[in-house]
Homo-oligomer: A and B are copies of this chain.
Amino acid sequence: MNKFEEKTIKTEKIFEGKIISLQVDEVELPNGKTSKRELIKHPGAVAVIAITDDNKIVLVEQYRKPLEKTLVEIPAGKLEDGENPIIAAIRELEEETGYTTNDLHFVTSFYSSPGFADELLHIYITNELTKVDNPKPGDEDEFVEVLELTLDEAKQLVTEERIHDAKTNYAILYLHALEGRE
């Protein structure tokens, strides 16, 4: 399924960071002309829709430097090299929220922004949570606060744009759709 494929003529590597790298590819277009594509490489990420025994959604509030503001999001994190997404999801859930689970279901996966980045995000769901006594610490430069909200409270945060990112908006819509069918 590679309709309109753009063959790489030349790759210029611009930046190799801790999380992302950037390259500019010169490509041959389907009509034989050439163009340039600015491409971000990312290891991929996982996120968890975690529902407590009293039917609340576990969310984390954290500062997002690219936006210069604090967002409320479902727990998430990036994949380590070659890591199985479900293992990464359990790790990030524990590090960010202090919960663990042995019952995690796949919801969906999607590319966050396929026009310029290859980040693939995998979303899981669980309603079997247990508190970990001494949870693994997260990254030392990561500061989060855990919130547990009802679906209605979370919808209100969507309205206020305090929940305002692709994976979390998707998660809230997913729970809304589930509820409509129960």
- In the complex, what distance in Å separates the CA atom of A45 from the CA atom of B25? 22
Report chain B residues within 8 Å CB of A173: 170, 173-174, 177
Is there contact, CB below 8 Å, between B158 and A108? yes
- Indicate if A148 sits at the interface (CB-CB under 8 A): no
A141-182, CB < 8 A from B: 141, 143-145, 158, 161-162, 164-170, 173-174, 176-177, 180-181
Which of A58-66, A83-91, A128-136 is the contact stretch?
A58-66
Is there contact, CB below 8 Å, between B61 and A36? no
Is there contact, CB below 8 Å, between B108 and A113? no
Is there contact, CB below 8 Å, between A114 and B169? no
**Shortest CB distance A123–B (Å):** 9
**Shortest CB distance A52–B (Å):** 22
Q: Say what secondary structure dominates the interface of chain A.
A: mixed
- Indicate if A37 sits at the interface (CB-CB under 8 A): yes
Which among A22, A42, A111, A169 has the greatest number of chain B C-beta atoms within 10 A? A111
Q: Give the size category of A's interface with B.
A: 35 or more
Within the complex, which residue of B27, B68, B78, B112 is in contact with A65, where a contact is CB–CB below 8 Å?
B27
**Shortest CB distance A65–B (Å):** 4
**Shortest CB distance A70–B (Å):** 5
- In the complex, what distance in Å separates the CA atom of A165 from the CA atom of B118? 10
- Indicate if A121 sits at the interface (CB-CB under 8 A): yes
**Shortest CB distance A163–B (Å):** 9
Q: Considering only CB atoms, which chain B residue lies closest to A140 in the complex?
A: B33
Chain A contact residues, CB within 8 Å of chain B: 1-6, 14-15, 17-20, 22, 24-25, 27, 29-31, 33, 35-42, 45, 61-71, 73, 76, 78, 108-119, 121, 140-141, 143-145, 158, 161-162, 164-170, 173-174, 176-177, 180-181
